[in-house]
Amino acid sequence: MTLRTNSTNTPNKIAPVFGQNSFNKHEEIVFFNDEETGLKAIVGIHNSVLGPALGGTRMWNYDNEWDALNDVLRLSRGMTYKAAVSGLDLGGGKAVIIGDATTQKTDILMRKFGKFIHSLGGKYLTAEDMGMETRDMDIIREVTPYVTGVSEEKGGSGNPSPSTALGVFMGLKAATKFQFGSDNLNGKKILVQGVGHVGEILVKHLTDEGASIIINDINEEAIERISKTYNTKIHRGTDIYSLDVDIYAPCAMGATLNDYSIPQLKAKVIAGAANNQLANELKHSKLLQEKGITYAPDFLVNAGGIINIYREIKNISKIDAIHRTENIYNTTLEILAMAQKNEITTHQAAFNLAQKRINDRKLSGEITR
């Protein structure tokens, strides 16, 4: 199964780990293998200056191990900046399990994975990502406390997707205000690519505001059901990037903003849940800027889930987490304005803010690890 991790990232087979384009000062990369269960997993700890490295586990049927490695490297780095820009005392990490979640995921495999996570002693805290469910987190919790996104019945914060969807919705509204002068979504044409856990709830928020939605997904059952429930249009073709829409919300896989898609885009706002939307951060954020497209940085607007999970680590209330998630609206507006003022890309502006927080913590000497 192809998951485009980075279109510019041809594996460097001479320097298999530190030589990857996605390698970026990562602190630790751990490979796990279990013969009995067939578990093959990689954990990437990018940065732990602000706190323990937190990030979900993705179970995906990668074409090859290079794709899995590059995915975990890119995703864990993204988590560092997501936590930092959101003001959370967490570092960035991520895990991938190589395998098909629909056919190869078993309770025994999850427990074994949990034991591996436990062996890291809390340096890495896991959670859900694509291919994983709250139920899996509950199973992992049986063998380790170093897991978040556990169900509410088991004392956790539950499925993070509704909070992620709320944050994306707030970021999307802010970017719409910046681009069009008003955040009113009534009548706006919006393409939602991927109507899974996050995409579906985002569609609900958007239709509640009177937006006109087109959905696209490879899961035929999901598009049929969601189209009926929320009265949306469906687009099945591969020509989705050239659709005549105002806003594009990528909520499936990463790297959809690339050399192929950007020249075709008619949308003037991009805001979605997918991680690592820019195939090449520098080049493609610049191309979007040149086309006059307002790009709401992914790691900023999709932070609602991690903000909700933060309740399991710091003693903050559910309502406080909701307010922090709603505040993504203000942070997005600030970052978009900062980018405009400094004539830099919106991605760079968000990145600068996050990096400043990490640098300040380093300078203060209050590093928790």
Positions marked active-site: 94
State in angstroms the smallest separation of the CB of 341 from ligand NAD: 28
State in angstroms the smallest separation of the CB of 362 from ligand NAD: 26
Q: What burial class does residue 181 get, using C-beta atoms within 10 Å of its C-beta: 0-12 exposed, 13-18 middle, 19+ buried?
A: exposed
Residue 201 phi/psi, 5° resolution? -70, -35
Find where tokens 């987490």 sit. Answer: 321
State in angstroms the smallest separation of the CB of 363 from ligand NAD: 29
Report which DSSP code applies to 274: -
Q: How far apart are CA 62 and CA 83, in angstroms?
A: 26
Q: Which is nearer to ligand NAD, 47 or 86 (CB)?
A: 86
- What single-letter amino acid sits at 213? I
Reported in sequence order, the residue ranges of the chain that DSSP labels E, i.e. its strands, are 28-34, 39-47, 53-54, 57-60, 91-98, 124-125, 189-193, 212-216, 233-234, 247-250, 269-270, 294-295
Cα torsion angle, 242, 246, 252, 255, sign: positive
Binding site for ligand NAD (CB under 6 A): 129-130, 160-161, 164, 193-199, 216-219, 222, 251-254, 273-275, 302, 305
Q: Which is nearer to ligand NAD, 3 or 185 (CB)?
A: 3
Please, are residues 192 and 256 in contact by the beta-carbon 8 Å criterion? Answer: no
State in angstroms the smallest separation of the CB of 247 from ligand NAD: 16
State in angstroms the smallest separation of the CB of 194 from ligand NAD: 3
CA atoms within 13 A on the CB side of 227: 16
Helices (DSSP H) in 181-209: which residue ranges?
197-208
Reduced to 3 states (helix: H, G, I; strand: E, B; else coil), residue 208 is: helix
Q: How far apart are CA 323 and CA 319, in angstroms?
A: 6
Strand partners, 54: 92, 125
Q: What's the token pair of residue 152? A: 């509410």
- How many residues are given for the chain? 369
By beta-carbon distance, which residue lies closest to ligand NAD?
196
Three-state SS sequence of 54-69: ECCEEEECCCCHHHHH
Nearest to 241 by CA among 264, 225, 259, 221: 264
Q: Which is nearer to ligand NAD, 218 or 282 (CB)?
A: 218
Q: What's the token pair of residue 209? A: 């505001």
State in angstroms the smallest separation of the CB of 162 from ligand NAD: 8
State in angstroms the smallest separation of the CB of 186 from ligand NAD: 25
Find where tokens 């975990």 sit. Answer: 72
Q: Which is nearer to ligand NAD, 18 or 240 (CB)?
A: 240
Q: Which is nearer to ligand NAD, 144 or 164 (CB)?
A: 164
Q: Which is nearer to ligand NAD, 43 or 195 (CB)?
A: 195
Q: Which is nearer to ligand NAD, 224 or 366 (CB)?
A: 224
